[in-house]
Chain A
Amino acid sequence: MLEIKNLKAEVDGKPVLKGLNLKVNAGEVHAIMGPNGSGKSTLSKILSGHPNYVVTGGEINFEINFQQKSIIDMEADERAKEGIFLAFQYPVEVPGVNNLTFLMNSFNAVLEHQGSLPLSEEEFKIYLDKKMELMGLREDFLKKGFMDRGVNSGFSGGEKKKNEILQMAVLAPRLAILDETDSGLDIDALRIVSEGVNKLRSSKNAVILITHYQRLLDYIKPDFVHVLSQGRIVKTGGPELAHELEKNGYDGILS
């Protein structure tokens, strides 16, 4: 589904990714771990198409209409329409833009791209309600009136992350990249968010989990764990690699 070959990228003229290789198949969950500054967040921004992150070499191929195609020249919204979703480490507050309006516009943009008719507000509300219920967020979100508020506006850290997962559930991406979704979450929020991700797992979609800690991987079991260091994946293993990292630290693995 996703194949990254010898990817090199820079931010503000500074090289961050220096020859990264990664292959993700449908149905797989890949965890990417690594010390601060190793390039984890850069990878997520590059994959989702942030304009400030520039690819300077290598390839990123993604399966579109049953064919592997380069996405390097695609805009962020085009990638999203093809099913790439980034759950932000720091979800952006967009005061004034109504959460429901935003989500409905997003969903309808994807529908229209797929050649379907957009949903009316009433139809979308029914769909959204089901997704909120599935994610275990319905009661809390309705009580707090989150759908009538500005996107992430005045939400706590945990609420923003839950909102990201709800967006993911609504847009049903084929490739979800979760950038440190566990950071800043208490145990209960971590459980809700993780359970949400697990419910969305299927043989047709894939997840890339970017995290600092093994803790998240107790909730979402990865098929592969990769260690990213200095812009490259230096070690790949199964879930046991995360435990090894937790025990010995990055220094123990990288030395």
Chain B
Amino acid sequence: MSILNSFDSLIQSTQAYLKKIGIEESKINQLLDEKKALKEQLLEMGLPKRTNEFWKYTSLKFLNDTPFYSEFISDNVSSDLEKKIEAHKTDDFFSLVFINGFFSPALSDNLPVDQVYIKKNFYSSCFKKDFSRRNGVESSLDTPIKIPMHKSEFYFSDFFLGLGQVYNSEEVVIEIKKGIELSKPLKIILFSYSEQQKAILSSSRISIKLEEQAKASVVVKSVGEDGVKYFSQIQLEVLLNKKSNLELINSIEQSYQAYHIDQFKIDLHADSQCHYLENNIGSLLTRHELEVNLLQPGANAKVMGVAYLQKKEQCDSHTKIKFHASHTQAEQLYKNILDDEAISVFCGNVIIDEHINDVNSAQLNNNLLMSNQCESHSKPVLMIYSDDVKASHGSTVGQLNEEELFYLRSRALSKEKAKELLSSGFLLQVYELIDSQVLRSYLKKSISLKIDKKQARPELKMLKV
């Protein structure tokens, strides 16, 4: 497996990083030994195969073909890189910056300590009660965690959880305090970049916790350099405590040469609400694995996805919505536009436990095909073990509505312009469901930039943002 051939680079970057943050030598060695053991386990486990139905459409050949390197870039970044990072930071967000999976407090904004705090957990049992404070960011090393390499009960990827653990030593935990509404949305910028012009593996592990009645809007923006090959993976866990409310955008804005795989897990407690949206507007291959657990009554999840795929781009979205309690609801809406030879996969699993009632589940996947060569696969899987439930699902694959096209053309819009307006309108409908004005504007801008970039047609700059 080529990906693990670059293990030496990983050892070096991990050492450099751990030294930088002041971890003592003996602990570093212990941690590296643990990584070596994990690497052996991964080799034994092997990559998921396409004979496994859940990997039927996702080719992982690139992991066998390309050695991906780990590269730690210290806080003294070049002005070139700093400029690139700054371009992603805007005043309407608090920004947290990760480069190649390593959290960079120096490039991040100071967060208001009365609203939110940040700590780090390490994937090792060797840390006890260690604490430091830097740049307004609290860094606590007090919670040893180990991600067990167990067989998951369903299908979500043990291999990539393990790979994440090998490639990144820490989990960054963001906690929104009780009763607090975050005064600005948070933007987590996951930037992949190589000073050595190598194919990078960028692996991030993040945890977002909302205390009781906390409220926040978060964008996780995965981005890298145009024209550069890299592999980006994220493991993100969200915990919503009682009556908390989160809007979370997972925005994939990678280069056309990039590969992206993420696993998100969202746990909702009583009367909490989560609105999650995948915004897929760039990456050669994207695979999302999302698990949502509705744990207590009143939990409410909206799970949405938008993909605008061109050329040979592929986006696979796998969702697993698990109803564990009565009086819960979850709605899924995935909309894809496919052009050229693009491929979309939607696999939506809904699992409703035994002995619960008043459960409402809806699932809809709409695909708009703009060429004859694109492919769309849609697969609902509903496992219902209770009676008093509503569970709907639907899937459509089609082309642009001719009457809509004619209507726009009868108003002097060229065929191309009418198509662009209609296709972006198809996706904008999903964006309109987001409450936060800042997030909505962000999303609209991201899609119009994508369309502009591909087609360089100035009229789309007129898209109202």
Contact = CB atoms under 8 A, between A and B. Distances in A.
Given A88-B407, A94-B425, A101 B462 contact: yes
Interface in B425-465: 425-429, 432, 459, 462-464
A252 interface: no
Interface stretch (A4-12, A72-80, A215-223): A72-80
A95 B425 contact: yes
Contact of B425 (A100, A108, A150, A167): A150
Interface stretch (B224-232, B310-318, B408-416): B408-416
A55 B415 CA distance: 21
B403 interface: yes
B417 A97 contact: no
B463 A101 contact: yes
Contact of A92 (B404, B425, B428): B404
A150 B429 CA distance: 9
A197 interface: no
Contacts of A75: 409, 415
B408 A94 contact: yes
A96 B412 contact: no
Contacts of B426: 96
B370 interface: no
Given A51-B406, A96-B429, A150-B425, A167 B462 contact: no
Contact of B410 (A48, A104, A148, A151): A48
A113 B395 CA distance: 41
Contacts, number: 97
B428 A106 contact: no
A102 interface: yes
Contact of B408 (A49, A52, A102): A102
Size category, A interface: 35 or more
A154 B418 CA distance: 20
A109 B464 contact: no
B422 interface: yes
Contacts of B403: 92
A113 B432 CA distance: 33
A49 B462 contact: no
Contacts of A49: 409-410
Nearest to A148: B464
A102 to B, nearest CB: 7
Interface in A133-187: 148, 150-151, 167, 171
A162 to B, nearest CB: 16
Contact of A109 (B402, B406, B412, B427): B412
Given A101-B462, A101-B463, A121-B462, A96 B410 contact: no
Contact of B412 (A52, A77, A94): A77
Nearest to A98: B464
A109 B413 contact: yes
B424 interface: yes
Nearest to A51: B406
A109 B190 CA distance: 40
A16 to B, nearest CB: 17
A104 B464 CA distance: 10
A54 interface: no
B418 to A, nearest CB: 8
Contact of B421 (A100, A101, A110, A167): A101
Nearest to B444: A98
Contacts of B410: 48-50, 76-77, 79-80, 85-86, 88
A98 B413 CA distance: 14
A121 B459 CA distance: 12
Interface string A28-49: 0000000000000000000011
Contacts of A113: 412
Contact of A94 (B407, B459, B462): B407
A165 to B, nearest CB: 13
B259 to A, nearest CB: 30
B462 A92 contact: no
A96 B424 contact: yes
A110 B412 CA distance: 6
Interface string A45-77: 000111110000000000000000000000111
Given A51-B406, A94-B422, A77 B414 contact: yes
Q: Which 6 A-B pairs have the closest CB atoms?
A: A96-B425, A97-B425, A80-B412, A92-B407, A76-B409, A106-B411
Interface of B: 402-404, 406-415, 417-418, 421-422, 424-429, 432, 459, 462-464
Given A94-B408, A96-B427, A113-B412, 11 more contacts: A77-B413, A77-B418, A80-B409, A92-B407, A94-B407, A94-B425, A95-B425, A97-B408, A100-B464, A121-B462, A150-B425
18 contacts: A48-B410, A50-B410, A51-B402, A52-B402, A76-B409, A80-B409, A92-B404, A92-B407, A96-B425, A101-B421, A101-B462, A104-B462, A105-B417, A108-B459, A109-B414, A109-B417, A150-B425, A167-B411
